[in-house]
Structure 1
Amino acid sequence: MISFLRGTVAHVGLSTAVIDLNGAGMAVFATPQTLSRLHVGEEAKLFTSLIVREDSLTLFAFADDDEREVFEVLLSVSGVGPRLALAVLAVHDPETIRVAAHSGDGKAFTKVPGIGPKVAGRIVLELSGKLVPHGTGPAPVQAAASAADWKPQVVAAMTSLGWSEKDAGGSIDKAMADSPDLAQAGDVAQILRATLRWLGQDGARAGNRVGSRG
């Protein structure tokens, strides 16, 4: 089993990266948050999970061991494959997933593209007792960050997922209007997740509006 990779980042794509391991390029799939931390030419360490299929060997990479653990537990849910498990981690951080699974919050999982109420209910049911929230102390006090510090990174991550810069910027602004504390903290990964969740909710609201007119 390949537990982790340490090497030079050779390439960063829309959903994958290539790590140069002494002349051998290892391709990995990862979330936008993990990919946004990688920079070509710099050394990186990624925790990995190898998925073996009859016709393929696919390596998924994570920023830390906690992300990998949650990913592998999500794979234990019937009907949840590696791409869907990775999508869950793109929208929610590991602790949010733990809390949602522990508290039976199926709605949290419906915010992930591709997961409807039925699948969300199955996730909550099958993860019961498997994921327990970590104890957390008081958050450290941080100076407020300006959008100039974090917004370009979030826009870059969203454009890698297919949004235009204009749509990405507008969605970020609207999502942060609902979460000013998150914007002040300036955590790129958290802001990206919040924007993706906002987009999912906005899509659901649009669907409801169309349905009511019909």
Structure 2
Amino acid sequence: MISSLRGTVLAVAGTTAVIEVGGVGLSVQITPQHALALRVGAEARLRTALIVREDDLSLFGFTDADELTVFDALRGVTGVGPKSAMGVLAAMNPGQIAQAIATDDDGAFRKVSGIGPKTAKLIILSLAGKLAIAPAVGRTAAATGSVSDSVLAALVGLGWNERAAVAAVEEAVAGATEAERGAVPALLRLALTRLGPAQPQPAAGGAGRE
């Protein structure tokens, strides 16, 4: 069982990272926000879960022990596979997931692609009182700041000028739900919606994106 790895980031694309460990490149499935935090050429350390099937070996990576704990707990719920569990972690951090379970908020899980009403309710029923992670009470502001910074960096990287990107992120945060404020993909979608169909502006002295 591969429970963790440390090595050089060779590539990051979408939700897949390739980490070189001892001369071997390992493909690891990660969340979009985790992907934004990795840099090619830099060292990364991940908690991991190896999922073994008859025709496939899949390695999933996490930033800390709490994410791995939530991933394993979600996979224990009927109808929730590894991809759906990663989808939940992409939408909410471990504290927010614990909070949703503690407050019987199955709506937070229904927003995740691939999680229907029955499965969302089953997650609540199956994990109530069993997830040893502190709910995200009192941590919203700090989490939002970190997520906002990541979204801003992503927008600038896509070619939007910083002033427009900052305004869009501020508007997105103001109109987002608590779960959306804590998830980079959700907040990024809201910010892009506010930027509208206009094309990103080229940086001064540089070429614009197609």
Q: Confirm or deny a common fold (TM above 0.5).
A: yes
Q: Is the 8 A contact 2:95 2:136 kept in 1?
A: no
Alpha-carbon distance in 2 for matches of 1:148, 1:118:
32
Specify the code of the residue in structure 1 equivalent to 2:76. Answer: S
* 2:92 alignment counterpart: 92
| Counterpart for residue 182 of structure 2 | 190
- Name the residue aligned to 2:34: 34
Q: After TM superposition, list the pairs within 5 Å mapping 1:1-214 onto structure 2.
A: 1-134=1-134, 150-155=150-155, 172=169, 174-178=171-175, 190=182, 192=184, 194-195=186-187
Shift of the alpha carbon at 1:133? 4.1
Question: What code does the residue aligned with 1:176 have?
Answer: V
CA separation in 1, counterparts of 2:89 and 2:16? Answer: 15
Uncovered stretches (5+) of structure 1, i.e. residues with no partner: 183-188, 200-214
Q: How has the CA–CA distance of structure 1 residues 155 and 138 changed in structure 2, closer, same or farther, with 3 Å as cutoff? A: same
- After superposition, the Cα gap between the structure-2 partners of 1:25 and 1:17, relative to the gap in structure 1 and judged at 3 Å, is same
In 2, distance between residues paired with 1:17 and 1:79?
A: 26
CA distance in 2, matches of 1:121, 1:135: 18
Answer yes or no: is the 8 Å Cα contact 1:28–1:60 preserved in 2: yes
TM-score by length of structure 1 reads 0.71
Identity %: 43
Shift of 1:155: 3.3
CA deviation vs aligned residue, 1:160-208 (integer Å, no higher than 9, x gap) = xxxx97xxx697454223259x9xxxxxx93515526969xxxxxxxxx
- TM-score, normalisation: structure 2: 0.73
Q: Distance in 1 between matches of 2:169 and 2:140?
A: 24
Q: Verify the 8 A CA contact 1:17 1:30 in the aligned structure 2.
A: yes
- Per the alignment, in what secondary structure is the counterpart of residue 70 of structure 1? helix
Unaligned runs of 5+ in 2: 192-210
3-state SS of the aligned residue for 1:41? coil
Moved over 6 A (4+): none
Evaluate the alpha carbon distance shift between residue 133 and residue 62 of structure 1 in structure 2; reply closer, same or farther with a 3 A threshold: closer
- For residues 117 and 156 of structure 2, the distance between their equivalents in structure 1, rounded to whole angstroms, comes to 31
Letter in 1 for 2:70: V
Give the Cα–Cα distance (whole angstroms) in 1 for the partners of residues 37 and 156 of structure 2: 11
Aligned-residue offset at 1:55? 0.7
